Amino acid sequence: MEHTDPDALALVALGEPLTDPRVIDHLAQCASCRLEIEALRSTVSVARSSIGEAELQAPPARIWQSVRAELGLSADLEPPVSAARASELAVTQVSPSPVASLDTARARRSGIRRLIVPVAASAAAAALVAGGVLWWGAAAPRDAGQLIASARLDALPDWPAATGQATVAERADGERVVQVSLDAEVGEGVVREVWLLTDDAEGLISLGLLTGRSGEFLVPATVDLAEFSLVDISAEPLDGDPTHSGDSIVRGALDV
């Protein structure tokens, strides 16, 4: 089976909509390509959460040379912006999108886009390179921080057997981290995404994808946890749409 072009997978991971029916059909059948998209989305999520929290440094010129060679670009083509700036453009955190109701979000997904990333394949590759550097830094041992909030995550009606927990810790440098655990399996072609919601579900912020039974996610410095006090984990189909699917698995209020 011929797999989807890696550049197309990178753009899907960055939020570009799927429009080619051949790609859509292939992803519906190919677990390998879906896993590749999930891995790339995890990298983008970390980079998106870390913009503004960490200073990105432009990689050496040989990185661009490798990207240029991998994509088959002209030898005299220079990057339109630095790799760090490309990453910033590709994964800029935007303001939370209002939604009327998570119950109706699925029907409105085609009309709501929380993140639009019309970048070229070269910028996508540069963003993923920079995101990989951030992921490596995030994986290093860090201060566990002081517990400042917690929540029991209760199952939603469609997921009666699901259970979960969430805690928020503040590190010595002021950085806040949400740690979640979830006991709930999702079907093939579906991933689990962690969100912060306002108590009326009118605003939401994605923290990233949960790839195991537990995970740790940075809270952007500008987010007020007294306002975004609900932790939500949703089941998201791999359809290229970054908005909330409306299919929440568990949800709970932080005691902030």
pLDDT digits (tens, 9 = 90+) for 173-216: 899 999 999 999 898 889 999 999 999 888 899 999 998 899 99
Tokens of 198: 């306002």
CB atoms closer than 10 angstroms to residue 161: 8
Q: Are 243 and 230 in contact (CB under 8 A)?
A: no
CB crowding 45-82: b at 16 or more within 10 Å, else e: bbbbbbbeeeebebbeeebbeebbeeeeeeeeeebeeb
Question: How much of the chain, in percent, has pLDDT values that exceed 90?
Answer: 34
Mean pLDDT (the chain) is 73
Query: Given a cut of 70, is residue 48 above it in pLDDT?
Result: no
Confidence of residue 96 (pLDDT cuts 50, 70, 90): very low
User: Do residues 231 and 178 touch, judged by C-beta distance below 8 A?
Assistant: yes
Pairing of the two strands 248-253 and 176-183: unpaired
- Residue with the bigger pLDDT between 212 and 38: it is 212
Confidence tier at 51 by pLDDT (50, 70, 90) = very low
pLDDT tens figures, 115-151: 323 333 444 455 555 555 444 444 445 567 899 999 9
Q: Give the number of other CB atoms < 10 A from CB of residue 200.
A: 9
Q: CA dist 64 to 10, 37, 76, 90, 97, Å?
A: 16, 22, 11, 16, 34
pLDDT for residue 60: 65
Would you say residue 32 has pLDDT above 60?
Answer: yes
pLDDT at position 134:
46
Kindly list the distances between the CA atom of residue 15 and the CA atoms of 74, 113, 198, 217, 249, in Å, as whole numbers in the listed order.
26, 9, 23, 19, 22
C-alpha 65 chain-centroid distance:
27
| Number of residues assigned to the chain | 256
Looking at per-residue confidence, does 237 or 104 come out higher?
237
Give the residue with greater pLDDT, 96 vs 206. Answer: 206
* Residue for token pair 């989807």: 4
Phi and psi of 20, rounded to 5°? Answer: -80, 115
Q: Residue 132's closest CA among 220, 33, 44, 6?
A: 44
Q: Going by C-beta distance under 8 Å and a sequence separation of 6 or more, which residues neighbour residue 221?
A: 52, 53, 174, 175
The whole-number pLDDT of residue 236 equals 94
Tokens 């002209």 belong to residue: 74
For residue 101, give both structure tokens: 């109701």
